[in-house]
Amino acid sequence: MNTLYRYMTFVMLMLTLYACKKELGVLPKNAKVDANTILDQGTAQIALNGAYYRFANATITKTAWQEHELKPAMLAGYMGMYSSILAEEENRNDRASINYWAETYVLLNATNGVIRGVNALPDAKFTGTRKKEIIAEARFLRAYAHFKLLTFYGEWYKPDSELGALLRDELSTLSNIPKKRSTVQQSYDYILADLDEVIASAPATAPTHYVTKWAGMALKMRVLMCRGAAADYPVIISLANTLIQSSPYQLEAVAEDVFHKNGLASKEVILGVKPQANQEKETYSRSAQYFPGASSLYVAKAPLNTLFGSDPRKSWIIGSARPKAGYYYFTKYMKEGGVSSALTESYYALRLTEIYLLKAEAIVRSGGSLGDAKAVVHEIQAKAGITALVNNTSYLAVEAANTPATLLVQIFNETVKSLIAEDGMEWLAMLRLPFDTVKSLKPTITTQVQYILPVPKDEFLYNPIFGEQNTGYSKN
């Protein structure tokens, strides 16, 4: 999809509004392409659901969020394709087939359309606080999109870099396609401003496939951890405490039950992606890509198997070895011999487990008590059956980490074990470690150029004032 086509998606597809008021997978009755289709609260909700539809990267038959699971885990070295070695697995980013750029700008256009259309309506068109809530939900989706762009196409790890995200804050038309990319600092500031509004105005309760103020807090923690300023860590800890103590979410008593029993109904899911109706019946469903292997078979690789060691989570995340050495069925979502279902087709964007791990990391990075950080990690491990009484090697490794550097590595290990193949947290957590550590974990990474992807070349064709290509890559 080229840039011009992408930016004109709204003009062609009514914000790609393949949704209705209550169901994300139902086509609207009126697909008229007109910004004036947002006329009242009902049509505003339809438009917002259209934006959620783009967040899910959905079609009529299925949500296509699997790339959010797989590609970061491949970049980090823990997942792969069984039939061939992809560029992402070897960190050959100039050849990678990651499609976040096109997907994300479609989402941005949809969210900006919602924000503009709802802002233009008088308050009397809405009941209670719903106008502010709709705008806040759209701003969460916009913040998520811009953060995805920043962390995959911008030097997010360099606060003074000029190479930030191309921020889109209005509905794209032919007249405003040309725009310069923002700096990294400007990108963070814009994303965080959106999230502050989410925290202030989004609903406190909603089904798990809709945004709440708690999701705004969780995503803000993720963003602040990547920005990594000294003043950010106390804020992360405070947000974590609020989520842990005051939100309606709680850790699943048995970690496996999130994925193999409760799915999006789990009390620890803050935001998920609901599958389309009958998605599990698709021949090339997401589930079938893990077992038995449909058009592709995506697998766990030897480094992930080794990392788990004797960890009890290995029994339900790593399946049997494949004939090709170093490859294993990945069974976190689809058990071997299992049957595809709505449960196996569900995706997880934000879970409370991540909140605990970000809190532990923030404690260490802020110079806090290592004992306090270890206690937070042990709370997560306990849900996997790992306690001091069990004397498991995962527990002992955390206990033995008596410097900030060694404990940060153990928190990273726990992040991989807990959040592998969800929404890229294993990849970002790896890149937050010192560069020498990153190289030792993933030997195919030899330069920080490989931390991010090149901006697609079409961008420079249709947006001549965009600015520089990412360091180490060519515009041509």
Confidence of residue 17 (pLDDT cuts 50, 70, 90): very low
Residue 386 to residue 374: CA distance in whole angstroms: 13
Q: What is the CA radius of gyration of the chain?
A: 22
Q: What is the largest CA-CA distance in the chain?
A: 65
User: pLDDT tens for residues 228-259?
Assistant: 999 999 999 999 999 999 999 999 999 999 99
Arithmetic mean of pLDDT over the chain: 92
User: pLDDT tens for residues 139-150?
Assistant: 999 999 999 999
User: pLDDT tens for residues 61-107?
Assistant: 899 999 999 999 999 999 999 999 999 999 999 999 999 999 999 99
User: pLDDT tens for residues 266-311?
Assistant: 999 999 999 999 999 999 999 999 999 999 999 999 999 999 999 9
Position 224 pLDDT exceeds 80: yes
Position 18 pLDDT exceeds 50: no
Q: Distance between alpha carbon 244 and the CA centroid of its chain, in Å?
A: 20
Average the pLDDT over 134-142 and give the result. Answer: 98
Q: How far apart are the first and last CA of the chain?
A: 17
Q: What is the pLDDT of residue 87?
A: 97
Confidence of residue 455 (pLDDT cuts 50, 70, 90): very high
Position 374 pLDDT exceeds 90: yes
110 conformational bin, left if phi > 0, alpha if psi -120 to 50, beta if neither: alpha
Confidence of residue 19 (pLDDT cuts 50, 70, 90): very low
Residue 225 to residue 215: CA distance in whole angstroms: 15
Of 8 and 400, the structure prediction assigns the larger pLDDT to 400
User: pLDDT tens for residues 163-208?
Assistant: 999 999 988 777 788 999 999 999 999 999 999 999 999 999 999 9
Position 36 pLDDT exceeds 70: no
% of the chain at pLDDT higher than 70: 92
Domain range list for the chain: 275-345
Position 3 pLDDT exceeds 80: no
For Cα atoms 173, 117, 459, give the angle at the middle one, nearest 5 degrees. 25
Residue 272's SS3 state is strand
Asked which of 24-38, 163-177, 319-333, 457-471 is least confident by mean pLDDT, the reply is 24-38
Sequence-ordered strand ranges (E) for 249-289: 269-273
Confidence of residue 391 (pLDDT cuts 50, 70, 90): low
Residue 409 to residue 318: CA distance in whole angstroms: 22
Asked which of 10-14, 77-81, 321-325, 398-402 is least confident by mean pLDDT, the reply is 10-14
Position 432 pLDDT exceeds 70: yes
- 301-323 in b/e form (b: 16+ CB < 10 A) is bebbbebbeebbbbeebbbeeee
> What sign for the dihedral angle of Cα 245, 250, 253, 256?
negative
